[in-house]
């Protein structure tokens, strides 16, 4: 029977080269899978480098339900359980396809049910407060963080997409963005965003090469997303804002504001880089009247 370490190496290679998952997604999947197996299999056999696939076939549906219940007891949500089970199912299906070993208890387990929770966008007033206020940081760092904030708010980019930009990318009036799955999309770059980016480039003490990362840290290396996330946490603390104010909330705000100003859903879907229109609806907190208005405007029977 095949050693589990070999299977995991194959799975990583499959995620990276065949599925083209981002490094972040790969890490999340592996973390969920390893934690799941450690918990589920502790009653069967300790996990070790010599662990083989045959032990996986001993997993029962009760083992999985107990693992999911344990996660809920630890304060994790049903949505978190669904993500973890999805990662485990992906691994099980990979094993079935690659090694013809079926872990039926995993593959057949129903995902936890949960209600859809809508994202909470920031308010325009909150963002104006940040833009118009001074931040107690070295000036070039303040201009960098503010430039990222304005860029996400004005383009709807993910933080990972922003940090992948180069100085060459922001020279035009549009951005060619590589999103999830290496899919490309074009997003307009507003003059206000260009202004803040230009101000940051002028203040940055490091030479920014045209094909190197645009946003750098205090040591001149590519900026870690955790640095900007810490900046947002500090804003929440100093401004007494809710936990819902996050880097991703800026993306929600971008989408919601455009929808309120009558942008059609398909165009918004393209700007956000969503594969599914239903995802765009969820992001933008579409109320029934808004959805009806968009439908009435777009449907040929109403023209």
Reported as a single tens digit per residue, the pLDDT across 248-278 is 888 888 888 887 777 888 888 888 888 777 7
If you search the block for the tokens 């032990």, which residue do you land on? 55
At 206 the three-state DSSP class reads coil
- Greater confidence, 181 or 48? 181
Residue 287 has pLDDT above 50, yes or no: no
pLDDT band at 49 (very low <50, low <70, confident <90, very high): very low
281 or 11, greater pLDDT: 11
| Residues sharing a CB contact under 8 Å with residue 254, sequence separation 6 or more, in sequence order | 152, 153, 154, 155, 156
Q: Which region holds residue 217: left if phi is over 0, alpha if psi is between -120 and 50, else beta?
A: beta
Q: Over the chain, what is the mean pLDDT?
A: 81
Q: Is the pLDDT of residue 50 over 70?
A: no
Which candidate, 129, 138, 169, places its Cα nearest to that of 151?
169
Highest-pLDDT range among 164-168, 277-281, 287-291: 164-168
Q: Which of 69-78, 136-145, 291-300 has the lowest mean pLDDT?
A: 291-300
Cα–Cα distance measured from residue 252 to residue 242, given in angstroms and rounded to the nearest whole number: 15
Q: Where are the domains of the chain?
A: 4-107, 124-298
Euclidean distance between CA atoms 162 and 250, whole angstroms = 12
Query: What fold, for 124-298?
Result: hpI Integrase; Chain A (1.10.443)
> 4-107 maps to which CATH number?
1.10.150
pLDDT higher than threshold 80 for residue 295: no
Q: What average pLDDT does range 204-218 have in this prediction?
A: 94
| Cβ(7)–Cβ(95) below 8 Å | yes
Question: Any idea which residues carry the catalytic annotation?
Answer: 158, 180, 248, 251, 274, 283
Determine the pLDDT at residue 239.
72
State pLDDT tens for residues 68-124: 888 887 877 777 888 889 899 999 999 999 988 898 999 998 877 655 554 555 555
């Amino acid at each position: 029977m095949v050693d589990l370490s070999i299977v995991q190496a194959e799975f990583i290679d499959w995620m990276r080269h065949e599925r083209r998952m981002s490094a972040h997604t790969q890490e999340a999947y592996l973390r969920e899978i390893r934690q799941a197996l450690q918990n589920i299999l502790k009653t069967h056999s300790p996990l070790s480098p010599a662990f083989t696939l045959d032990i996986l076939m001993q997993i029962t549906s009760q083992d999985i339900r107990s693992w999911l219940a344990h996660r809920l007891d630890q304060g994790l949500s049903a949505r978190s359980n669904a993500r973890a089970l999805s990662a485990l199912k992906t691994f099980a299906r990979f094993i079935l396809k690659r090694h013809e070993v079926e872990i039926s208890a995993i593959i057949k387990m129903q995902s936890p049910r949960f209600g859809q929770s809508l994202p909470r966008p920031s308010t325009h007033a909150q963002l104006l407060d940040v833009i118009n206020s001074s931040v107690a940081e070295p000036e070039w760092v303040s201009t960098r963080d503010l430039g990222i904030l304005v860029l996400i708010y004005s383009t709807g980019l993910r933080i990972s997409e922003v940090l992948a930009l180069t100085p060459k990318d922001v020279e035009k009036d549009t951005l060619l963005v590589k999103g999830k799955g290496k899919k490309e999309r074009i997003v307009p770059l507003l003059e206000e965003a260009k202004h803040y980016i230009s101000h940051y480039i002028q203040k940055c003490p490091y030479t920014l090469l045209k094909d190197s990362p645009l946003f750098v840290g205090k040591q001149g290396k590519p900026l870690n997303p955790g640095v900007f996330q810490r900046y947002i946490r500090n804003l929440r603390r100093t401004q007494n804002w809710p936990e819902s104010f996050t880097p991703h909330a800026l993306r929600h705000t971008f989408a919601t504001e455009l929808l309120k100003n009558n942008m059609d859903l398909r165009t918004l879907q393209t700007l956000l880089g969503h594969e599914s229109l239903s995802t765009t609806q969820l992001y933008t907190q579409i109320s029934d009247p808004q959805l009806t208005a968009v439908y009435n405007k777009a449907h040929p029977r109403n023209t």
